[in-house]
Structure 1
Amino acid sequence: MIRRIAFLSVHTSPLAPMGGNKTGGMNVYIRELAQELGQRGFHIDIFTRRSDQSEPDVDRRIGPNVNVIYIKAGPITPLTPDEHFPYLSEFTAHVMAYAMRHNVQYDVIYSHYWLSGWVAAKLKETWGTPFLQMFHTLGYMKERIRSTKQVMPNQRIETEMHIVEWADRIIAATPAEQAQLLWLYRSRRKKIEIIPPGVNIERFHPVGMQAAREKLGMAKDKQLLLFVGRVERLKRIDTVLRALADLGERDSDILQRLCFMVVGGDPHDADNDEMSCLQRMTDQLNLRSYVCFAGAREQDVLPLYYSAATVVLMPSDYESFGMVALEAMASGTPVIASEVGGLAFLVKDGETGFLVPTKSPERIAERIRDLVVNPEKREKMGEQASHLAQSYAWNQIADRLLDSFNTIVKRGAAGES
């Protein structure tokens, strides 16, 4: 029977402040799942690389039975994901040393992202402990949508190809990700199980638009368009700015009623090229009166922003799932999203929001206008979105994952491959 589980999240801590360069849905996923399992009495150790001197050896803030363990590997400074690779052997050695020092044995390993998958495979070689892998994003998919192909090192894709073979089971968030693993990575179908991320429905639930706006001090006469996430080119926030400019040309009265808020990143970070580019574009399109770069917000206050919004916008070029869309839907807010990856699976077009082609500001403008001038439609979509999100509650998702964990452990005990 499973009692102790090792989570691996090498390149980012589940306790990292949200809205940073490399914090997002994966951080939320690991934190929320660990909390759910910890409350059930499972012992969860989350191993992540130390990137700051202020980080403790062990942090127990997530909840009972959950430890976030910071491992020394490489310089104690923030690194890009790819810069972690040379230090994976050191990371692995220190995880082994921790387990030996504390005399703990893990029943199963759950690794997240390709870097963690490499570590999980090495731990499996030494411990004999089976591991499940969730990639969250796939290198091949990011490579296919980039204009400069050399940005994505082949090292990542090659490692992902190996992990697909090494892992005892691969957790795919959606049927689209399963198809990508089969098509691009030649994974064995029986090794993949589709289990989507969950959402904390106690935190994310409808609050009431006006009540939320009052708590946030927002103007009552404005319709809030909301983006939440990392500020990077992949997210295509520029498409929303072009959509607003299109609205201004076609129906200036509608534009006057709107406020587009970007929650994420640091608007004063001169090193974030995408943030600087978006701010310049805002000025060039004469949208400064309608756009607010609010910076990052903690998870605890995000429900108010979602509930205050007329619609949440996700115009990304690629999303493996789209945790923001799920949180918005749970909060009773419809989503306008690109018809890509997990978003095409999660958002039900015409029911819980709208799906649009990528890089299509005209279509986004049309859909924004539709929801602004038809509040009844917006309200109905919000209700349907909230209802759909109930099936993603973390207690249900955790049950499915535990079944998968137990299946793999039993199979290993029986000597099956």
Structure 2
Amino acid sequence: MKLPKRIAMLSMHTSPVARLGGKETGGMNVYVSELTRVLALRGIAVDIFTRASDANAPYVDTESIGVKNARVINITAGPRAPVSKHKLVEFATPFAEGIRDFARQENLAYDIFHAHYWLSGVAAQCLQSMGLRAPIVQMFHTLGAMKNRVARTASEAETDARIVAECDLMRSVARVVASTPRDREQMIDFCSASSKRIVIIPPGVDTNMFYPIPNARAREWIGSYDDKTVLFVGRIDPVKGLDTWFRAMKLVVDDDPSLRKRMCVCLIGGDLDDDLDPDSELARLQTLKAELGIGDIVTFLGGRAQASLPFYYSAADAVVMPSRYESFGLAALEAMACGTPVVASDVGGLSYLVRDGETGFLVPEGDEKIFAEKISLLLHNTELRNAMGERGIQEAQEYSWWNIGERMIELYQDVLH
């Protein structure tokens, strides 16, 4: 079958070239940029459409993805400034109109609308209603119903509009991409989605970027002089369960007080200015670390460039993902590719990605005692840590972006056949 010629990749609420670790930047941003790159390398032209949230964002960006045939188009829809994702649905139609106008100006026709997150799916439906009839391939990345299941406060809950839109998209688009079998099961359970419409294709990892770096070299590069490092990489968000990790780390240092002087509990992600907002998750965690008496070992590093992450992963003794919900868990895969064991909640995609007792440990969500036990085990057992790291490297090879890209192309061909 022939390759599709041109794909419209829709990422309305967040730009794939934005700095990682912010409120709305994380694994999905990496997913969109890396998938686009591998498709472009296969000769498929890809235009990524995102809402312009920066007054200085260029209309057409041909440089940031770094390969020929891949562009980022910043569409003006609403203010060119950050907007709460709960309010962005108001701009779905203007966003779609901007895509339609760009296609007309360039005299382009797209073979596939590949929508990421529910807002992009709504925009893709708008495009179809405007007469642009390309089929929609939808990836949600997270499900509103699942986030509501773990929400502890009203402010953490997703809107009814999102829940309704996600179920509608599952019934109407050409295909839905699920990250794991559990992701697929949840779609069927919550929205009675047709199993025939859902295809399981996991995210990938760039194994040319994420590979083991000798520990001493990695520590020197990042300027770390701590003997032990426990690392988190991701958005600073309540759903990430970082309070459980903090409580676990208190238990770890209570059990071995000598670690206080030679260990870093490091967090990469978030905007450090957020601690000025007393209602932010970062401010809440700053307060919690003081209450637990672990302020001397916890370091918030803020956002870091993607290219620097392999050094941080390789310098760490363990990477933690204490999430309350995680559709996949890209940071866990990146850590495994770098040879670092992962201690993760036994939830969502993490249950499939992390091989318990082989590439790391799966822990009951919210159980700080077992988190502490497994983290301590890795900190004190070099042989186990190295063995798990080696197995993780092997597992990660199956998730190379080239392999994942091939599976996505097969899906596109099936939709167009």
TM above 0.5, yes or no, is yes
Q: TM-score, normalised by structure 2?
A: 0.96
User: Where does residue 372 of structure 1 map in the other structure?
Assistant: 379
Please report how far the alpha carbon of residue 250 of structure 1 lies from its aligned counterpart in structure 2 after TM superposition. 2.5
- 1:81 matched to 2:88? The reply is no
- In 2, distance between residues paired with 1:268 and 1:15? 21
Report the 3-state secondary structure (helix = DSSP H, G, I; strand = E; otherwise coil) of the residue aligned with 1:82.
Answer: coil
- In 2, distance between residues paired with 1:368 and 1:161? 39
What pairs up with 1:5-404 in 2 under 5 angstroms? 5-60=7-62, 61-62=64-65, 63-125=67-129, 126-149=131-154, 151-219=157-225, 221-269=226-274, 270-271=276-277, 273-404=280-411
The one-character-per-residue Cα deviations of 1:244-269 (angstroms, maximum 9, x if unpaired) are 21123223234444210011112332
The one-character-per-residue Cα deviations of 1:354-382 (angstroms, maximum 9, x if unpaired) are 00011111111101111111100000000
Unaligned runs of 5+ in 1: 411-417
User: Where does residue 413 of structure 1 map in the other structure?
Assistant: none
- In 2, distance between residues paired with 1:157 and 1:44? 29
- In 1, distance between residues paired with 2:396 and 2:343? 16
Please report how far the alpha carbon of residue 145 of structure 1 lies from its aligned counterpart in structure 2 after TM superposition. 0.9
> Quick check: 1:143–1:149 contact (8 Å CA) kept in 2?
no
> Quick check: 1:10–1:115 contact (8 Å CA) kept in 2?
yes
Q: 1:70 to 1:268 in 2, by over 3 A?
A: closer
The one-character-per-residue Cα deviations of 1:257-301 (angstroms, maximum 9, x if unpaired) are 421001111233212621111112222222122111111101010
Report the 3-state secondary structure (helix = DSSP H, G, I; strand = E; otherwise coil) of the residue aligned with 1:34.
Answer: helix
Please report how far the alpha carbon of residue 161 of structure 1 lies from its aligned counterpart in structure 2 after TM superposition. 1.0
> Quick check: 2:260–2:296 contact (8 Å CA) kept in 1?
no
- In 2, distance between residues paired with 1:22 and 1:260? 23
Please report how far the alpha carbon of residue 81 of structure 1 lies from its aligned counterpart in structure 2 after TM superposition. 1.3
- Specify the code of the residue in structure 1 equivalent to 2:29: N
- Specify the code of the residue in structure 2 equivalent to 1:206: P
- In 1, distance between residues paired with 2:126 and 2:341? 43
| Identity percentage of aligned residues | 43
- In 2, distance between residues paired with 1:225 and 1:350? 18
> Quick check: 1:49–1:71 contact (8 Å CA) kept in 2?
yes
- In 2, distance between residues paired with 1:145 and 1:281? 20
- In 2, distance between residues paired with 1:146 and 1:279? 20
User: Where does residue 3 of structure 1 map in the other structure?
Assistant: 5
Please report how far the alpha carbon of residue 149 of structure 1 lies from its aligned counterpart in structure 2 after TM superposition. 4.7
Q: Which runs of 4+ in 1 moved over 6 A?
A: none
- In 1, distance between residues paired with 2:371 and 2:261? 17
Please report how far the alpha carbon of residue 123 of structure 1 lies from its aligned counterpart in structure 2 after TM superposition. 1.9
- Specify the code of the residue in structure 1 equivalent to 2:370: R
> Quick check: 1:231–1:274 contact (8 Å CA) kept in 2?
yes
> Quick check: 1:47–1:71 contact (8 Å CA) kept in 2?
yes
Report the 3-state secondary structure (helix = DSSP H, G, I; strand = E; otherwise coil) of the residue aligned with 2:258.
Answer: helix
- Specify the code of the residue in structure 1 equivalent to 2:236: V
> Quick check: 2:28–2:141 contact (8 Å CA) kept in 1?
yes
The one-character-per-residue Cα deviations of 1:295-351 (angstroms, maximum 9, x if unpaired) are 110101011000000000000101100010011111111100000000111000000
Report the 3-state secondary structure (helix = DSSP H, G, I; strand = E; otherwise coil) of the residue aligned with 2:386.
Answer: helix
Equivalent in 407, 412, 416 of residue 414 of structure 2: 407
- In 2, distance between residues paired with 1:303 and 1:135? 27
Q: TM-score, normalised by structure 1?
A: 0.96
- In 2, distance between residues paired with 1:247 and 1:370? 10
- Specify the code of the residue in structure 2 equivalent to 1:317: R
User: Where does residue 415 of structure 1 map in the other structure?
Assistant: none
- In 2, distance between residues paired with 1:34 and 1:268? 31
- In 2, distance between residues paired with 1:345 and 1:149? 30
Please report how far the alpha carbon of residue 38 of structure 1 lies from its aligned counterpart in structure 2 after TM superposition. 1.1
May I ask how many residue pairs the two structures share in their alignment? 409
RMSD: 1.2
> Quick check: 1:254–1:369 contact (8 Å CA) kept in 2?
no
- In 2, distance between residues paired with 1:400 and 1:72? 33
- In 1, distance between residues paired with 2:83 and 2:178? 27
- In 1, distance between residues paired with 2:126 and 2:172? 10
